[in-house]
């Protein structure tokens, strides 16, 4: 482990990153709350302001992936459709296998200039999470209770509201509905069997209702479905904690652009279409497993400096007063200072001693 890597893996760094994220996030949430009266006067302006405010939060997580951990992202896609990305509204269908798959999605959103406005069909519980959930409320994120009797009305209504959305967005749909685990896979393949559907090896059986309602309600607004399949090199499954500790990974994303008009309108036909799509996605994963790459040409859309600039701005704004406070406390020699310093040093030390990486790095 290099010196820089060792520095990045310190608990103190993690605490600083989380402090900046939470403090800035709550400030942004407050600013978003202040835009409430504007929604009554000028809705489109309120939406545009909220897109920029949301960028302040989500781009910090993108910055940790791109600039702090240095994770690289390669896109496998048709060069003919590449110029359309970010220039049109799209429904993104992504496999849900990794803890940080949403973060890789955000990274691509940033690279194509749609990070602030991008949306997801998210479970309702996430709406109550401070910072991210509250930010989503002002971004008009679509929430579902995973109770179709209720969702069929509320999800459709939320999607209809996006018809006059003023900026381009990508709408993310995890059709599997939950993250892949062997247990969930086993159950969903039992469902596949009872429905007479072919088995999937790398995906859960997709839930078709959310896809159908999304496609139907975004017709005329979204131009295409981006069928996206994500994987990490060397069979790795990165965690958020590893990213925050500065560990580097390499993500590969395979994207196919499918015009929305080519998707059937009838619910049953649309469901059959989605099942076929997941069988194709499964074959792409099989290809990746066999060859270590997805089919087709690769492109590497460059990371942009804005996420880093935003992160540095908030860090400067929030760490300067904290630094001044700590300097004052240290010069006063209070009991709090000593106890706080000891706790931080102790936790750093124990992490170093017990973490697998430091043990692995010892000479034989
Ligand atoms: C160029 C670059 C391109 C791309 C870049 C990539 C991405 C970037 C894009 C945007 C990023 C933006 C934001 C991302 C940020 C963060 C995201 C983070 C978090 C969100 C994650 C979530 O919250 S996921 C959970 C919520 N979402 C979903 O659940 C969606 C899928 N679900 C549905 O669609 C459901 O149908 C529903 C929710 C609408 C309703 O659910 P309900 O449970 O009521 O109904 P079902 O669908 O289950 O209907 C019952 C039918 O299901 C069958 N069944 C039963 N058991 C199973 C099983 N185990 N598996 C499959 N099917 C099952 C049952 O038999 C019923 O069958 P029917 O024949 O009657 O339909
Ligand atoms: C700068 C960075 C600092 C970060 C420090 C703080 C970390 C805060 C992290 C907030 C991340 C919020 C993004 C939420 C996305 C999580 C994905 C998710 O939750 O998917 C749910 C699905 O799978 C369904 O789950 P199940 O209920 O089926 O199981």
Distance CA 303, CA 222 (A): 25
User: Ligand 2 centre from 66 Cα, in Å?
Assistant: 18
Residues with pLDDT less than 50, the chain: 353-354, 356-364
Residue 283's nearest CA partner among 187, 208, 203, 204 is 203
Give the residue whose CA is nearest to atom 13 of ligand 2.
Answer: 132
Query: What is the ipTM, given to two decimal places?
Result: 0.95
Place of tokens 């965690």: 239
Residue 101's nearest CA partner among 233, 239, 299, 234 is 239
Place of tokens 């709408």: 171
Distance CA 119, CA 136 (A): 8
User: Ligand 1 centre from 157 Cα, in Å?
Assistant: 17
Counting ligand 2 atoms within 8 A of each CB, the residue from 11, 14, 21 with the most, and so the one to mutate, is 21
Counting ligand 1 atoms within 8 A of each CB, the residue from 207, 240, 272 with the most, and so the one to mutate, is 207
Q: Which token pair is 20?
A: 């900046």
pLDDT at 343: 72
Place of tokens 């910090």: 60
User: Ligand 2 centre from 219 Cα, in Å?
Assistant: 29
User: Ligand 1 centre from 96 Cα, in Å?
Assistant: 10
Q: Is 61 in the pocket of ligand 2 (CB under 6 A)?
A: yes
Counting ligand 2 atoms within 8 A of each CB, the residue from 240, 243, 307 with the most, and so the one to mutate, is 240
Q: Going by C-beta distance under 8 Å and a sequence separation of 6 or more, which residues neighbour residue 38?
A: 45, 46, 49
| Stretch (H or E) spanning 100 | none
Q: Is 116 in the pocket of ligand 1 (CB under 6 A)?
A: no
Query: Dihedral of CA 340/60/29/321: which sign?
Result: positive
User: Ligand 2 centre from 304 Cα, in Å?
Assistant: 24
User: Ligand 2 centre from 158 Cα, in Å?
Assistant: 21
Q: Going by C-beta distance under 8 Å and a sequence separation of 6 or more, which residues neighbour residue 202?
A: 95, 97, 180, 281, 282, 285, 286, 289
Give the residue whose CA is nearest to atom 52 of ligand 1.
Answer: 207
- Nearest ligand to the C-alpha atom of residue 189: 1
pTM of the model: 0.92
Give the residue whose CA is nearest to atom 11 of ligand 2.
Answer: 132
In the DSSP assignment, the letter for residue 65 is I
User: Ligand 2 centre from 255 Cα, in Å?
Assistant: 23
DSSP string, 13-37: HHHHHHHHHHHHHHHHHHHHHHTHH
pLDDT at 326: 83
How many CA atoms within 13 Å lie on the side-chain side of 25? 19
Ligand 1, closest atom to CA 58?
15
Q: What are 264-274's pLDDT values in tens digits?
A: 999 999 999 99
Q: Is 200 in the pocket of ligand 1 (CB under 6 A)?
A: no
Distance CA 59, CA 314 (A): 11
Q: What are 62-105's pLDDT values in tens digits?
A: 999 999 999 999 999 999 999 999 999 999 999 999 999 999 99
Distance CA 109, CA 86 (A): 8
User: How many angstroms from the chain centroid is the CA of residue 202?
Assistant: 20
Give the residue whose CA is nearest to atom 41 of ligand 1.
Answer: 146
User: Ligand 1 centre from 253 Cα, in Å?
Assistant: 20
Give the residue whose CA is nearest to atom 38 of ligand 1.
Answer: 146
Q: Is 177 in the pocket of ligand 1 (CB under 6 A)?
A: yes
CB atoms within 10 A of CB 137: 15
Q: Going by C-beta distance under 8 Å and a sequence separation of 6 or more, which residues neighbour residue 246?
A: 4, 5, 8, 9, 13, 68, 69, 70
pLDDT at 362: 35
């Amino acid at each position: 482990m290099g010196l820089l890597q060792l520095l990045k893996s310190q608990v103190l760094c993690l605490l600083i990153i989380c402090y900046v994220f939470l403090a800035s996030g709550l400030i942004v949430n407050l600013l978003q709350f202040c835009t409430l009266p504007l929604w009554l006067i000028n809705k489109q302006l309120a939406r545009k302001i909220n897109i920029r405010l949301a960028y302040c939060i989500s781009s910090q997580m993108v910055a940790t992936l791109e600039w702090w951990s240095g994770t690289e992202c390669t896109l496998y896609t048709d060069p003919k459709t590449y110029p359309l990305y970010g220039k049109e509204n799209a429904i993104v269908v992504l496999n849900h296998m990794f803890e940080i798959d949403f973060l890789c999605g955000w990274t691509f959103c940033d690279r194509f200039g749609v990070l602030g406005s991008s949306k997801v069909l998210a479970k309702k519980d996430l709406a109550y999470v401070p910072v991210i959930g509250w930010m989503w409320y002002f971004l008009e994120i679509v929430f579902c209770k995973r109770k179709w009797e209720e969702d069929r009305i509320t999800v459709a209504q939320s999607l209809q509201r996006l018809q006059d959305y003023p900026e381009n967005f990508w709408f993310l749909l995890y059709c599997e509905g939950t993250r892949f685990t062997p247990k969930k896979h086993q159950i969903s393949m039992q469902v596949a069997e009872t429905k007479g559907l072919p088995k999937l090896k790398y995906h859960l059986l997709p839930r078709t209702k959310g896809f159908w309602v999304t496609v139907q309600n975004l017709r005329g607004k979204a131009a295409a479905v981006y069928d996206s399949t994500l994987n990490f090199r060397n069979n790795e499954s990165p965690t958020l904690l590893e990213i925050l500790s500065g560990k580097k990974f390499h993500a590969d994303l395979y994207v196919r652009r499918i015009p929305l008009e080519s998707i059937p309108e009838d619910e049953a036909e649309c469901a059959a279409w989605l099942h076929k799509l997941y069988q194709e996605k499964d074959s792409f994963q099989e290809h990746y497993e066999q060859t270590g790459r997805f089919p087709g040409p690769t492109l590497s859309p460059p990371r942009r400096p804005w996420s880093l600039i935003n992160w540095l701005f908030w860090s400067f704004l929030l760490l300067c007063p904290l630094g001044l406070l700590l300097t004052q406390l240290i010069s006063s020699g209070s009991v709090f200072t000593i106890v706080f310093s000891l706790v931080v040093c102790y936790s750093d030390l124990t992490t170093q001693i017990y973490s697998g990486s430091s043990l692995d790095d010892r000479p034989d």
